[in-house]
Structure 1
């Protein structure tokens, strides 16, 4: 390797020696080379669109989730899958008509792949996750210096000008890290949910796919494995639950807004105690992994609920219990007289 130091820096000797401006050879400093290096450093950030600037890089989240789903296997429903879902939902609606005044949804039932579930639910995840990420990002911003440190005397002013965007890059990288975590979480959830309303919260945004019963055939098949129940019975029972929930949300318009509102209110209240973190980290030796582990295990990074959050959480839990209780009761009334395995499936779901 050549003895030349990149960007014209001379040998600095011992790391304990103070910076000597005379050791910095300005004549060998190639500003074009330095600029190219900084551009290369930010290349991974430039792939995200301007619309992604914010606490979460949603393009990163979607890309990570899609890649994880494809890697794990995400078969697209075929014509037969769609036919079976439509038949199951139509029979479910026929049974439900006798036990609820809420009418069946007019939209045609759908069979989704895991990736399709991801696409249809992303807009609502935006609303739920953004407030949490914004709170954490804001706390992290306050812990960073507001201005770049002064460079030693003798350093070229061009270097300061080029380092300015690094603070913005740091924020963008934080956004991408949030996106990475969100994408991994959504990929896991997409591999487990059975239908559009499986989590109890209406995750499909208002539009052509809202108030529409949908099942994920691949997940339904995986769920039924080992139960000792015919696949058609499993599909029908899940179609009953899905159709009942969609009827409820369509028939009680305010319920959707209340549920999403309670989640958003709780998320907006997430607060990171900056002072507590700084106090815990003040005397920690970064070279001591055990000390760092003790701080992480102490719960210093776990936000504590505010009274407003406790109230929002109580409302959310009550609403979810009401939704699940109504769906469970209506489905039980519609299925148990007709399906010998209904009670067993009721205990499994």
Structure 2
């Protein structure tokens, strides 16, 4: 089968380039894992009570290290990209030497990106590798972040758990959400209007753009260069609106629950926001290229949207947003929540 990315090479590269975690004793590591498991269960109770969303079959949390996180994401990406390659090749086995070499090169580049991210991600609800998805908490990154922030460890860990458990709740309490998200990703690919060779080259250049940013901070290229057709841009608008909602909702919940159960939440939030905005020029370039800067804006814009809607119509009416894909916010509604309220949850009287 034709491969866009040599995933074995990607895994080996991510493992080789990934940074080691903070210095901890075996006892400290074991205690952190145990506490994160317990705090995940506690966070689930708080999130359900605060949001009114129930997830009867939520999968258990997985506490992972940086290498494990990269491996899980490689497996998830493999599930998405390999069927695409097979379809574009029309089921034919590819023997093109140039394609094989290119896939190994892209594997190195993908592994480089994942190694970078593996040292920064605190948690993730991963939806690609199976239904209904899996909740990951990256223990070394959480410990390293709380130390750098000078935060109370239990408060910080519960605060992180509240955010990530909210994502798990979104995808497990809303039964159609995962299929809808994956369908939009597929729609984005289908709208590319590229043949196999063009798609391979586009993927290779997109990954290379990110990997090369660490060596050339003056680069002005962006992964958004992959977006070429009007149909792709329409899908991207819908995906952007959805991700902004999901991230903003998680931010709103973690801070809404926080004051009751995380005594130092205000201090943590202030320090964490400063941490998000900081970074050397090269790191900022990489964050922009791979979409982290966009994600930061999604946190803020999405949180404002959720806050304004809940403030106006209450949590129960806000939850109409999860009724179907048709009730999700459109991109213009995120900056003008009244538009969404008027369309989906008009205020009586």
TM-score tier, shorter chain, comes to: 0.5 to 0.7
**Map 1:143-162 → 2, pairs under 5 A:** none
Corresponding residue for 1:236? 158
Matched, 1:343 2:271: no
Matched, 1:57 2:6: yes
Task: Tell which has more relative contact order, 1 or 2 (C-alpha 8 A, sep 6+).
Answer: 1
8 Å CA contact 2:58, 2:172 repeated in 1 = no
TM (norm. structure 2) is: 0.59
Classify 1:183/1:131 alpha carbon distance in 2 versus 1 (closer, same or farther; 3 Å).
farther
**Map 1:1-349 → 2, pairs under 5 A:** 53-69=2-18, 72-73=19-20, 78-103=29-54, 106-127=58-79, 168-197=96-125, 202-206=126-130, 210-270=132-192, 302-303=225-226, 305-346=228-269, 348=272
Classify 1:252/1:267 alpha carbon distance in 2 versus 1 (closer, same or farther; 3 Å).
same
Greater Cα radius of gyration, structure 1 or 2: 1
Q: CA deviation at 1:239?
A: 0.6
Classify 1:204/1:237 alpha carbon distance in 2 versus 1 (closer, same or farther; 3 Å).
farther
Corresponding residue for 2:298? none
SS in structure 1 opposite 2:124? coil
**Which stretch shifts more, 107-116 or 336-345?**
336-345
**Which stretch shifts more, 55-64 or 101-110?**
101-110
> How far, CA to CA, are the matches of 1:297 and 1:213 in structure 2?
34
Corresponding residue for 2:336? none
Query: What stretches of structure 2 of length at least 5 have no aligned partner?
Result: 90-94, 199-215, 274-349
**Which stretch shifts more, 125-134 or 115-124?**
125-134
SS in structure 2 opposite 1:244? helix
TM (norm. structure 1) is: 0.59
Q: CA deviation at 1:332?
A: 2.4
> How far, CA to CA, are the matches of 2:189 and 2:175 in structure 1?
22
8 Å CA contact 2:4, 2:81 repeated in 1 = no
SS in structure 2 opposite 1:257? helix
Q: CA deviation at 1:133?
A: 8.2
CA deviation vs aligned residue, 1:87-135 (integer Å, no higher than 9, x gap): 2112212322321232355543331111211222223323555699899
Higher helix proportion, which one? 2
> How far, CA to CA, are the matches of 1:338 and 1:80 in structure 2?
20
> How far, CA to CA, are the matches of 1:100 and 1:345 in structure 2?
22
SS in structure 2 opposite 1:97? helix
Q: CA deviation at 1:317?
A: 0.8
Corresponding residue for 1:17? none
Query: What stretches of structure 1 of length at least 5 have no aligned partner?
Result: 1-50, 139-166, 276-292
Q: How many residues align?
A: 241
Q: CA deviation at 1:346?
A: 3.9
Classify 1:131/1:56 alpha carbon distance in 2 versus 1 (closer, same or farther; 3 Å).
same
Q: CA deviation at 1:220?
A: 0.6
